[in-house]
Chain A
Amino acid sequence: MAKIHVTTTVNGDAVEFLCDPEQTLLDVLRDELELTGSKEGCASGDCGACSVMLDGRLVCACLVLGAEAEGRGVETIEGMATGDELHPLQRKFLEHAALQCGVCTPGFLIAAKALLEKNPDPSETEVRYWLAGNLCRCTGYDKIVRAVLDAATEMRGS
C-alpha cells in the first residue's frame, strides 16, 4: 500500500511525513514524528489524552487521519511552553498539584487552553463541562478545575 506524503505545520514548524492511509494523526505524531507527549488512552475519542489543536480546533488526534493534516496547522503539548516560560496553565497545574500520574495532563492542558481562548472567564460549571471529554482517574478533577480557573484569572489580569 503506497504511503501518502503530507506537508503540514506542527507547533509552528514546517513538517513533512509519509503515512499509511489508515494511520491516525496520533500514530503519526507519536511513531513518525516522535512527539510522544500526546497519549493514547482509548483510541476511540472517549478519554481525551490525545487532545491536540488542528487549525485552532480542539480534536482527539486518534479520530483524525494523518493525511488530514495536509496543509493545516497542528499544535501539541510539546509546543505549549515558550522558551523557558511555561504557559500559565502549565504553571498553575504544577502549583495546584493538579496532576498525580500525569498521563492525562497533556490532553487536559491542550483542552483547557482551547477553552480559555474561546472563553477567558469561564464559570466552574463551564470548565467542568468543557473538560468532560478528558478522563482523569487520579485527581477527582478538583485540583484540575481550580488550576484552570486560577490560570484564567491570571491570564485576564495580564
Chain B
Amino acid sequence: MATVLKTDTPAPQSPHALKWVGTRPIRPDGVDKVTGRAKFGADLILSGMLVGKVLRSPHPHARIRSIDTSKAEALPGVKAVVTHDDFHDLPSEFVPAGEMLVNYRDMVRNVMAREKALYEGHPVAAVAATSAQIARQALKLIEVDYEPLPHVIDVVEAMRDDAPVLHDDLFTAGVEPPPTKPSNVAKRVEFAIGDTEAGFAEADLVVERTFDTKPVHQGYIEPHACVASVSEDGQAELWCSTQGQFLVRSHCAKLLGMDISAIRVTASEIGGGFGGKTVVYLEPLAMALARKSHHPVKMVMSRDEVFQASGPTSGANVWVKIGATRHGRITAAEAVLKYQAGAFQGGPIQPGCMAAFAPYDLANVKVVGFDVVSNRPKVAAYRAPGAPISEFAVECVIDELAKELEIDPIEFRLENAAKEGTRAAYGPKFGPIGLIDTLRKIKESEHYRTPLGPNQGRGIASGFWFNIGGETSASINVNEDGTVTLMAGTPDIGGSRASSCLMAAEALGIDYDKVRPIIADTSSLGYTFLTGGSRATFSNGLAVNEAAQQVIKEMCARAARFWEIPADAVTWEDGMAKPAGANAGDFEPLSFAELAKMAGKTGGPIGGHAHLNAQGAGPSFGTHLVDLEVDQETGRVTILRYTVAQDAGKAVHPAYVEGQYQGGAVQGIGWALNEEYIYGPDGRLQNPGFLDYRMPVASDVPMIDTVIVEVANPRHPFGVRGVGETPIVPPMAAIANAMEQATGIRFTELPMSPPKVLKALEAANGAG
C-alpha cells in the first residue's frame, strides 16, 4: 500500500498494516537505566561546582521584616547569597504550564518569599558554598526578622469571613457584584447545562453527600535537582530534572530578566514527575546563585523539602447531589467543589469542575467550584489534576444510587454512559470514545464473577480525563548508513522514547533498531511543550509522522532524480522508493538505506523537521474493579484483586501502556487508603518523609490486571489518545464502593486509613 505523500495531513494507517506500532521492543534508553549509566538531575558533576542550599521559613504565615545575610556572606567558602532582592517583582500575568496556569507575580514569590512567608518551608534565602557543610552553616548565619501571623490550613476554615487573609490584594473573581473585601477565595467558577431544579423534580431518588479529601503528593522518587552555570557574558546553561525544559527556560528568563536565547536548558533523565515537575522551584535560585558567584551551582532538595515546599495536589471539600428515575436514568446532577490552591491561587478547580460528570450523558448539570488559598505549599499538577477529587465524589454517589435502586452498578453506568455524540456538560461533543467498552470488558471479566469471602467487598468506578496536545517539534535526521536520529523535546518519563521510535519506524518503513532518539535541549530543537496532559506520545506521533513524511517525500524526489523520471512517478512502499505509473517496473526499487548512502550526491543531507500545534487529542475513559478485605480488628484494608480497563485509542507500546494503568491504579490505592498531609495546630507538616507519608510498597498490592481497549482516535495517524492520567481517577471511588460492600459503611473521607476505618467499624458495631 502506497503511503500518501502529503505532509499537511496525517496518513491514516490501517491497523492490520502496522509492523512496529503495537509491539513491545526494549526501550532505547533501557540499558542505561539498568546499569546506573543514566544521568538524572543530581548526577551531573561539573568542575568548580558549588553546592546551593535554601533557607526556608519555619512559620506557616509571617511577615518578613528584614533579612540580614552579612554574616553568612562573610563565612569562608560562601560564594553567593540571594534573597528576594535578587529577583525583580513581576506583574500579575497568567500563562499556561501543563494543565494548570501560573502567574509570574506569584511564581516569583513562591520561589523566594517577598513580603510574607506563606507556608512552612517557603524559601527566604539561598546560599552557594564550596561544600554542603559550609552551605548549611551559612544558612544558620542568616538572620530573618519574622512577625508571625495567624495561619489557616483547612479549606473550609480558609473560606470563613474571619479567617486570616493571606493576600491583601486577592478579591474573589467570578462573583457579582465584585467583592470590596479581600479574602482567601480566589475565584468562583460555574458550569451548567439544562435545568437541574426541573431535573431533580423528575427523579424518583435523590442522593446527596459531602466528601473530604486530603492533599497528596506526587511522590516521585527523585527529588528536584539542577545544575546551573552562567558565564561572564550572561550566557546560561541549566541542567535539571523537569517535565518541560522549554517551560523552565521561559520561566527562568522571566524571573531573572534574561533573553530566552541566553538560556540553554537540558532535561536530565527524570525520576518521576506526575505533574509535580512542571513548575520551577530550585532552577531560578541556582541560576541567580550561579550568576552571582560565577561558578556552576548544584541544588538538590532533601525529601523533607520536597514534601514541605513542592506541590502536592489539592485537598478538598466536595458536595454532590444526583437524582435518578427508578429505571436508573440520571435526571439531574449538581456539585460544589472547594479546592485548596495552597499559598497562591490557581489550583485545579477548573478541570475538577469540568471532569466531574464527564463520563455521563446528562441533560441537567450544575457544577460550582471555588479556588481557595491557605498556608500550605502551592499545589502543582498531579496526574489528571482536579479530576480524581471530583470524580471520586460523583462515583461514590452513583454507586449509592445504583444500590438503592437495586440496579447492577455497571448496568447503571451503562444506562447513563457518555458515548459518541454526547455533549459533555463542559461544552464539547465527544467523538468516538471507549467508556461503554471498558464497562463491558469489566462486566465480562472473570474477576467480576468470582465469589467473595467474609469481610470482603467489590467496587467499581469509572473515570475520565481530557488529554491535551500542544506545541511540538520533532526532527528526523537521516544518517549516511540509513540509520536515523530522532529528536524529541518531551522528557521521557515512562517510555516515550520507545513509542516515538516505534512511530518513526512505522512511518518511515525501517526497523525500530535503526532509529535512535535523543531528548533535545532547548537550543537544539524548536519549542516543545512539556511532558504532561498525557500528550507526549499523542503529540510526538503527529510531529514524528509529519517529519517522516517530509523524509519520504525527499527520498522519492532523490530516487526520481537518480532515475531521471518525474518526482510524482515515484511511490514509497515498504521502506523503498519504487517507480510507478508508466515507469512501473523499469527500475529496481531503491531502499531507504541506499537512498541515504547516495544523499550526498543526489542533493545533500536528508531530514524532516516538524513544528506544529497538536490538535485533536482524544479523551480517555477507564473503569476499575477492585476486591478488598477489611480487617475488623485493626481497620487495615488489603487489596485482594484489581483490574483496570481503559481506552488507549492505540497502544503504541502496550507494555508501557499497561505500566501507566498499573502505576496509576497503585497511586490511587495510596490516595484512597494511606496518603495524606498531616498538619499540627502550629501549621507545620508533621509527616514530611516516606516513613510517615506512607506510599504503597510492593507487599501492599497485588498484581494489577489490565485490559487495553482500543477505540482509535480518528485525529491521530496511529489512533493514539494518551493514557497516563485517567488511571488515577477511578481508584478512590472503586475502593470506597468496595468498602461499603465489605462493611456497610459509606466512607466519605480520604484516606480510609486504619485508624479511621477502625473508628467507623467500632461506631457501627456499637450502634448495632
Which residues of A does B touch, CB under 8 Å? 20, 30-31, 34-44, 46-47, 49, 76-78, 80-81, 86, 90, 93-97, 99-106, 109, 124-125, 127-129, 131-146
Pick from A20, A36, A135: contact of B695, CB below 8 A.
A135
With A46-B689, A100-B493 known as contacts, the answer to whether A145 contacts B31 (CB < 8 A) is: no
| CB of B220 within 8 Å of the partner chain | yes
Cβ–Cβ contact A47 & B690, under 8 A: yes
What is the bound-complex CA distance between A105 and B29, given in angstroms? 13
Q: Flag if A95 contacts B704 (CB, 8 Å).
A: no
**A-contacting 9-mer, from B38-46, B196-204, B246-254, B338-346:** B38-46
Contacts of B690 in A (CB 8 A): 41-42, 44, 46-47, 135
> Which 3 pairs across A and B sit closest by C-beta, in order of nearness?
A37-B36, A103-B271, A140-B666
Q: Which residue of B lies closest to A20 (CB)?
A: B133
Interchain nearest-CB distance for B503 vs A (Å): 17
List chain B residues, Cβ under 8 A from A96. 655
Residue from B26, B31, B699 whose CB has the most chain A CB atoms within 10 Å: B699
| Among A102, A132, A136, residue most surrounded by chain B Cβ atoms (within 10 Å) | A102
Q: Min CB distance, A82 to chain B, in Å?
A: 11
Bound-complex Cα distance A30 to B272 (A): 20
B35 touches A37 (CB 8 A): yes
Contact, CB under 8 Å: A136 / B34: no
Mark each residue of chain B from 700 to 729: 1 if its CB lies under 8 Å from any CB of chain A, else 0: 110110000000000000000000000000
A132 lies within 8 A of B659 (CB): no
Instruction: Check if B221 sits within 8 Å of A143, measured CB to CB.
Output: no
Residues of A close to B666: CB separation below 8 A: 139-141
B282 within 8 A of A: no
The answer to whether the Cβ of B24 comes within 8 Å of any Cβ in the partner chain is yes
Digit string of B257-298 for contact with A (CB within 8 Å is 1, else 0)? 000000000000111111000000000000000000000000
6 intermolecular pairs with C-beta atoms under 8 Å apart: A20-B133, A36-B39, A39-B40, A41-B222, A42-B690, A44-B690
Contact with A along B189-222 (1 / 0, CB 8 A): 0000000000000000000000000000011111
Given A132-B699, A141-B666, A145-B703: A100 touches B495 (CB 8 Å cut-off): yes
Cα–Cα distance between A137 and B669 once the two chains are bound (Å)? 12
In the complex, the chain A residue whose C-beta lies closest to that of B644 is A140
Knowing A46-B689, A102-B271, say if A93 contacts B35 (CB, 8 Å).
no
Question: Which residues from chain A contact B34 at a C-beta distance below 8 Å?
Answer: 80, 86, 90, 93-94, 99, 102, 105-106, 109
User: Which of A34, A80, A109, A140 is the one whose CB lies under 8 Å from B45?
Assistant: A34
Q: Please tell me if the beta carbons of A40 and B42 are within 8 angstroms of each other in the complex.
A: yes
Which of B40, B662, B698 counts the most chain A CB atoms within 10 A?
B698
Chain B residues whose C-beta falls within 8 Å of the C-beta of A139 in the assembled complex: 659, 662-663, 666
Instruction: Let me know if B26 and A101 touch, CB within 8 A.
Output: no
Whether B221 and A81, one on each chain, are in contact in the complex, defined by CB atoms closer than 8 angstroms, is: no
Chain A hits for B38, CB < 8 A:
102
Complex CA distance for A42 and B304, rounded to whole angstroms = 8
Give the distance in Å from the alpha carbon of A104 to the alpha carbon of B303 in the complex: 15
**A36: B residues at CB distance < 8 A:** 36, 39-40, 42-43, 45
Interface flag for B656 (CB, 8 Å): yes
Q: Do B701 and A141 touch (CB < 8 A)?
A: yes
Are B26 and A134 in contact, with the CB atoms below 8 A?
A: no
A83 to chain B, nearest CB (A): 12
Given known A-B contacts A100-B493, A137-B663, A49 and B36 have beta carbons under 8 A apart: no
B698 engages A144 (CB within 8 Å): yes
Q: B695 to A137, Cβ gap below 8 A?
A: yes
Q: Specify which of B36, B223, B494, B667 lies most central, judged by the most chain A CB atoms within 10 Å of its CB.
A: B36
* B302 proximal to A (CB < 8 A): yes
Q: Write the residues of chain B forming the contact surface with A, with a CB cutoff of 8 angstroms.
A: 24, 26-27, 29-31, 33-40, 42-43, 45, 133, 218-223, 269-274, 300, 302-303, 493-495, 653, 655-656, 658-659, 662-667, 689-691, 695-701, 703-704
Q: How far is the CB of B31 from chain A (nearest CB, A)?
A: 7
How long is the Cα–Cα vector from A43 to B688 in the complex, in angstroms?
A: 12
B24–A97 touching, CB < 8 Å: yes
Q: Do A137 and B274 contact each other (CB < 8 Å), given the known contacts A20-B133, A46-B691?
A: yes
Query: How far is the CB of A39 from the nearest CB of chain B, in Å?
Result: 7
Most chain B beta carbons < 10 A, residue from A86, A97, A101: A101
Which chain A residues border B662 with CB–CB below 8 Å?
A: 139-143
User: Given A99-B33, A100-B659, A103-B269, list of 8 further CB < 8 A pairs?
Assistant: A31-B45, A39-B271, A47-B303, A86-B34, A101-B271, A102-B271, A103-B220, A142-B703
Cβ contacts under 8 Å, B133 to chain A: 20
Do A103 and B40 touch across chains, with their CB atoms under 8 A apart? Answer: yes
Contact of B33 among A20, A41, A105 (CB under 8 A): A105
Q: Which residues of B contact A38 (CB under 8 A)?
A: 36
Instruction: Report whether A140 and B665 are in contact in the complex, using a CB–CB cutoff of 8 Å.
Output: yes
Do residues A94 and B26 form an inter-chain contact, with CB atoms below 8 A? yes
> Measured between C-beta atoms, what is the minimum distance from A128 to chain B in Å?
4
- In whole angstroms, how far apart are the Cα atoms of A149 and B483 in the complex? 36
Known interface pairs A36-B36, A103-B221, A145-B698; A94-B45 also in contact (CB < 8 Å): no
Residue contact A97 to B223, C-beta cutoff 8 Å: no
Set B219, B220, B699: member contacting A129, Cβ < 8 A = B699
Q: How far is the CB of B41 from chain A (nearest CB, A)?
A: 9
Query: Do B31 and A86 touch across chains, with their CB atoms under 8 A apart?
Result: yes
Shortest distance in angstroms between A135's beta carbon and chain B's nearest beta carbon?
Answer: 6
> Is the beta-carbon distance between A137 and B35 smaller than 8 angstroms?
no
How far does the alpha carbon of A20 sit from the alpha carbon of B698 in the complex, in Å?
Answer: 35
C-alpha gap A42/B272 in the complex (Å): 14
Q: A81-B35, A102-B269, A109-B34 are in contact. Are A41 and B656 (CB under 8 A)?
A: no
Which residues of the partner chain B approach A133 to less than 8 Å between Cβ atoms? 697
Return A11 CB to nearest CB of chain B, in Å: 10
A90 touches B704 (CB 8 A): no
* Residues of B close to A43: CB separation below 8 A: 302-303
Partner of B689, one of A42, A86, A99, A132: A42
Interfacial chain A residues near B699, Cβ < 8 Å: 125, 128-129, 131-132
Also in contact, A80 and B663, with CB within 8 A (given A44-B303, A132-B698): no
Roughly how many angstroms separate A124 CA and B27 CA in the complex, as a whole number? Answer: 26
| Complex CA–CA separation, A103 to B222 (angstroms) | 7
* B518 CB, nearest partner CB in chain A, Å: 16
Complex Cα distance, B697 from A129, in Å, reads 9
Q: Which residue of chain B lies nearest to A104 when distances are taken between CB atoms in the complex?
A: B221
Q: Which residue of B lies closest to A77 (CB)?
A: B36
Contact A100 B26 (CB under 8 A): no
CB distance from B638 to the nearest CB of A (A): 12
From B43, B269, B271, B274, residue with most partner A Cβ within 10 Å: B271
Which chain A positions have C-beta within 8 A of B300? 40
CA distance A125 to B300 in the complex (A): 35
B698: A residues at CB distance < 8 A: 127-129, 131-132, 134, 136, 141, 144-145
State whether B495 touches A41 (Cβ < 8 A). no
**Neighbouring A residues of B29 by C-beta, 8 Å:** 102
Give complex CA distance A37, B39 in Å: 8
Q: Which residues of A contact B36 (CB under 8 A)?
A: 35-38, 76-78, 80, 106
Residues of A within 8 A of B494 (CB): 100-101, 138
A80→B659 contact, CB < 8 A: no
Task: Give Cα A93–Cα B27 distance, bound, in whole angstroms.
Answer: 11
Per the bound structure, the CA–CA distance linking A101 and B276 in Å amounts to 14
**Most chain A beta carbons < 10 A, residue from B658, B659, B664, B665:** B659
Can you name the residue of chain A whose Cβ is closest to the Cβ of B642? A140
**How far, in whole Å, are A95 and B42 apart by their CA atoms in the complex?**
27
In the complex, how many angstroms separate the beta carbon of A110 from the nearest chain B beta carbon? 10
